[in-house]
Amino acid sequence: MATATFGAGCFWGVEVTFRRTQGVTDAVVGYMGGTVPNPTYEQVCTGRTGHAEVVQVSYDPAVVTYDALLEVFWGCHDPTQVNRQGPDVGTQYRSVIFCHDDDQRARAEASRARLDEWGVYRAPIATAIEPAGTFWPAEPYHQRYLEKRGLADPVEWL
């Protein structure tokens, strides 16, 4: 098993997207990239902790590659937005790839550069690529949030 961590705005829809990806064995919503240990949702929402809402993905590399997960990441949000996704505004909603090793970093950087070079988006990609730090799982009520409410169909939240 391997781990990948992505921030792409509000973590609820991103979690559903990754859970539906073949080879993903788990997706947990939480926080990464900040300075406050064990932050709460309320603290992260202030924008003062430095954390991003993220999804930590456990996956089987024999079934799905990290490059394929990057494709899912690029496709599930607008990576040209700075500190926002749709109506959600703040640094906690930033587009970010947290890399767990040098190989992930190299693949993420190459992927971002390739998409920018090809002009896939109408604006330059704003996604940050950073080393993974401590992952703090979000509160239990955030886990599988859309699924628990019968809203896990991607059409419901796009």
Active site residues: 10
At position 27, the amino acid (one-letter code) is: A
Angle formed by the axes of helices 102-118 and 66-75, to 10°? Answer: 50
DSSP per-residue letters across 76-140? TS-TT-SSEETTEESGGG-EEEEESSHHHHHHHHHHHHHHHHHT-SSS----EEEE----EEPPG
C-alpha distances in Å from residue 81, one per residue of 24, 59, 78 = 26, 27, 6
Residue listed under structure tokens 């990057």? 70
